[in-house]
Chain A
Amino acid sequence: MDHVEVRRRTYHDSVRLMQASAAVQKVPGVEVALIAMATDLNLGLLEDLHFDVPGDTTPDDMLIALRVAGGDVVAGALAALDAALVAAPASDGGMTAAPPPHLLSSAARGADLNLGLISVPGPHAFVEAADALRSGLNVMIFSDNVPVGQEVALKRLGVELDLLVMGPDCGTAIVGGVGLGFANAVKPGPVGIVGASGTGTQHISCLLDDAGVGISHALGTGSRDLSTDVGALATLQGLAALDEDPATEVIVIVSKPPAPEIAARVREAAAACTTPTVMCLIGEETLEDGAAAALAALGREAAPARSWEAPDAGHRPGTVKGLFSGGTLRDEARMVLAGLMGAEAAAGLEMIDFGDDEYTRGRPHPMIDQRLRLEHLGATAADPSFGVALLDVVLGYGSHADPASELAPVIEKATEAGLAVVVSLCGAAGDPQGRDLQAELLNEAGAAVFLSNAAAARHAHALAEGGAA
């Protein structure tokens, strides 16, 4: 007979549940025991074992499923389970365990830490970051809405203390192989990146990953670092640090084009480096060009990045519409299109950045929550004036766990309606979402998928022009 029980809002870690399952299995008369949290995976397991699957569970509930020789076994099995669950509770360090720290400077006391990752609301970031710096931590400030004067003060303090201030508004960094914020699972390698643009950094690191070249470190600087106000303080510091870093053989600086005097200062510093340095100014050149220049500096030739092209199902005529989750790739796509169709025509295209404040107020970032973008894609499919939808999908740590599964059905409908869909897929082979799996899902749904954003834009243009890509 079967006994299935749900214990509401009861949590035990998986190892403990495994140990408990093992204990229950040993009770004579127990044929099958599944003790697990009611996750979809475990509910599926339950179904596979032909148990009646209880409805209305959440992953916070604990499932107990027993197949026993007779009803009299159940009580003993449950007793064994309860004993196993209370036995040797996970140690909390006892009564002398310290409570969790509230401040980074408290966390740093007596602990061997070297980086504070700050995402507190912008108005509070300055105090937290300055305190962390004075406690000897480098900082990455994910927060935005930090006044520029505070940014300058923090970066000057960083220079004074020989500590790096990444940010504010720094979304991406890779330090010593660990991605911080939005970052891709790229391998260690010879290229160091100093990036004022998080997405730009991600994209270049993924293009290099596709070429089999890894990253030593990717240091974020925050979007305003190359402004006249900030004067590239973090960029120059990061550049010098990477120049000293023995693992870094080529340095790439990724930024939107800065003010001329700042650009000159950075170029001067780059020229003084003993490590070859490549500047990739998004808007003047493509990220693809930046990655190619880095490869050239390593003595390697760049091949076109991987793509998954869709069979031309005979899409309808119409213009390109851009549906991007970030400004960097959107702007780059527009630049590529301007090069192909003229600046004026490209400026007339509707190219939305769903990461803009206008769209993120009161909702998560589109790299995490795609609903609004999906709605717009549906609407684009329904509007016959558009022939091609061009969108980006960013994978890696911090991003949506499975964006393709949500996009694929909408893409399928859109392509059936005659809209061509082109996806710029920013991802590394080792990303937790499974880059190739994501690409294949999108491709099977009818989208052409490109690892290079510029290539995706070129393809979108070619489709809109009615020619082959």
Chain B
Amino acid sequence: MSRLERLLTGEPRVATAGIDLLAEGVEAQGAAVTRTEWHPPLEGTEDALAAITAAVDLRAANEEAVGRLVGTHPHWTGMAVAREVMEMGERTFLHAGPPLQWDDCSGPMRGALVGAMLYEGLAATPEEAIALGPEIELSPCHHHRAVGPMAGVISPSMPVSVIEDAAGDGVSYATLNEGLGKVLRYGAFAPEVIERLKWIETVLGPVLADVLARGGPIDLRSIIGQALQMGDDGHNRNRAATSLLLRQLAPPLIGGEGPHRDEVFRFVEGNDHFMLNLVMAAGKIGVDAASGVPGSSMVTAMARNGTEFGIRLSGTGDAWFTAPAPVVDGLYLGAFTAEDANADIGDSAITETVGLGGFAMAASPAIVGFVGGTASGAVQRTLAMYEITLAEHPDYKVPILESRGTPTGIDAARVVRTGVLPVINTGIAGKEPGVGMVGAGIVEAPVACFTQAVQALAEEVARA
């Protein structure tokens, strides 16, 4: 039966958008009706939305993009040194978020860059490093198939995990997570920070390389999927995923030859966030696979550099659409207050971009207290994200929602049409370098990023 024949067979099954009188009229006839809470699109996007709708089959373009995203099967295959796999010179430093100038760097970003310069031996003291700052080359991780949490700084000598797509030819990189406390990603550059980075370079990296060579590759998609069943959100809670990872690392780690194996085991075991960088890199493979679909309004990056929040769309290539990074409204640790908080920072919103983190909050009641919320609020947040996403992830599932897949693939067009903004679960960095984490909370991506992105997509499709 054709679709039109189906309409004329049996009763119509109606949904309404607009004035309630029409829905009431259907109901008054004893017929069911589904009402929508329709709102006009965000200001300034009306013409752009119409232009995109007229020019392309937005639904098909977005189905293509999200299909590519969820079609990736990231595996942790090995270790490498940053300069050997990424295009970077001796003075290239990668950072989180959209492009950034030294002069615009926030406290934690500047601190992390200072630490990385000390680590690379480009400067002997913090003062020297600061003086050198304007001369180094800054480039976003996202431009190098990499992602980094918080400041996200990757310098040429750092060991990086290599993630490869078992279902395609994608590859991505991420540093190894340093743990909590005084760490580079929060802008700390004290001697013990540099020492730990050296230990990661000389001990952790090589041991893991050996472990992966014998026990790898490790299926990250499988671990993430299982971890959601165990209370992780994949962003702020990675305790289950780290534990699952350690179970897979343990046999080759124990069974291997050479020193330091116990140190490595204890380091991974003692860092609940060890898996975060790998989850992020897994996400990066997905968004890179999804980028470049003509006409697609799917978001392929949400990232913050501590100064600006930026997003990219599949259909607008490498362009960033930025707005000032918001300050996270969250819960603060100890005596810290919002006064101590830096603006939102890190590439870790890649997790939300691929349907984890704030989008998977319903799977993670354990995170709720940490980011300041309620269990039912967490469920409602996840449910709200279905409105602005394109698919339900086939393997990342939320038990309490009858194992519905997480809302995956943010559609910027749906964001501006509904005014529903992506929610991000995030840690809050102190604004003074090296203070570390001062709190955690939930932040919404800035509206302006999405309105600009949709306007740019309209121009792009008009050119095509």
Contact = CB atoms under 8 A, between A and B. Distances in A.
Given A103-B414, A106-B386, A138-B4, A113 B46 contact: no
B38 A103 contact: yes
Interface stretch (A10-18, A117-125, A256-264): A117-125
Contacts of B2: 162
B286 to A, nearest CB: 21
A217 B8 contact: yes
Given A121-B40, A161-B3, A397-B29, A180 B46 contact: no
A399 to B, nearest CB: 9
A41 B28 CA distance: 19
A245 B9 CA distance: 8
Contacts, number: 188
B15 A115 contact: yes
Nearest to B401: A96
A176 B17 contact: no
Interface in B378-403: 379-380, 383-384, 386-387, 400-401
Contacts of A241: 4-5, 7-8
A245 B2 CA distance: 12
Given A95-B379, A106-B386, A111 B25 contact: no
A107 B53 CA distance: 19
B379 A96 contact: yes
B59 A127 contact: no
A176 B3 contact: no
Select the residue from B12, B17, B18, B38 with max chain A CB neighbours within 10 A. B17
A142 B26 contact: no
B417 A113 contact: no
B464 interface: no
Contacts of B38: 102-103, 120, 128
A244 interface: yes
Nearest to A143: B18
B8 A176 contact: yes
Contacts of A185: 29
B448 interface: no
A103 B387 contact: yes
Contact of B46 (A102, A123, A130): A123
Nearest to A185: B29
Interface in B409-455: 414, 417-418, 420
Contact of B13 (A112, A128, A245): A112
Contact of A175 (B12, B57, B384): B12
A247 B7 CA distance: 13
Nearest to A107: B15
B28 A432 contact: yes
B37 interface: yes
B129 to A, nearest CB: 49
Contact of B14 (A115, A126, A216, A368): A115
Interface in A125-156: 126-128, 130-132, 134-138, 142-143, 150, 153
A274 to B, nearest CB: 15
A164 B8 CA distance: 11
A162 B6 CA distance: 10
A323 interface: no
Contacts of A164: 4, 7
A102 B37 contact: yes
B7 A115 contact: yes
A189 interface: no
A131 B16 contact: no
A113 B14 contact: yes
A163 interface: yes
Contacts of B331: none
Interface in A220-267: 237, 241-242, 244-245, 247
Interface in B24-46: 25-26, 28-29, 31, 34-41, 46
A299 interface: no
A114 interface: yes
B264 interface: no
B131 interface: no
B16 A117 contact: yes
B172 to A, nearest CB: 30
Most buried by A among B2, B3, B11, B41: B3
A317 interface: no
Interface in B123-161: none
A402 B36 CA distance: 29
A175 B384 CA distance: 32
Contacts of B380: 95, 99
A177 B11 contact: yes
B383 A103 contact: no
B454 to A, nearest CB: 11
A3 B306 CA distance: 65
A183 B19 CA distance: 16
B184 interface: no
B121 interface: no
B22 interface: yes
A104 B17 contact: yes
B14 A117 contact: yes
Contact of A104 (B11, B36, B362): B36
A236 to B, nearest CB: 12
Nearest to A248: B8
Given A95-B376, A99-B384, A163 B14 contact: no
Nearest to B59: A134
B167 interface: no
B13 A397 contact: no
Nearest to A242: B8
B85 interface: no
A439 to B, nearest CB: 21
Contacts of A143: 18
Nearest to B30: A178
Contact of A397 (B11, B14, B18, B25): B25
B11 A142 contact: no
Nearest to B15: A107
Given A101-B37, A180-B25, A117 B15 contact: yes
A108 interface: yes
A117 B22 contact: yes
Contacts of A95: 375-376, 379-380
Max chain A CB contacts within 10 Å: which of B4, B9, B46, B414? B4
A29 interface: no
Given A96-B400, A99-B384, 11 more contacts: A95-B376, A101-B36, A116-B14, A117-B16, A119-B18, A124-B46, A127-B53, A134-B59, A163-B4, A178-B14, A183-B25
5 contacts: A96-B401, A102-B37, A102-B417, A103-B17, A176-B11
Interface of A: 95-96, 98-109, 111-121, 123-124, 126-128, 130-132, 134-138, 142-143, 150, 153, 161-164, 175-181, 183, 185, 216-217, 237, 241-242, 244-245, 247, 368, 397-398, 432
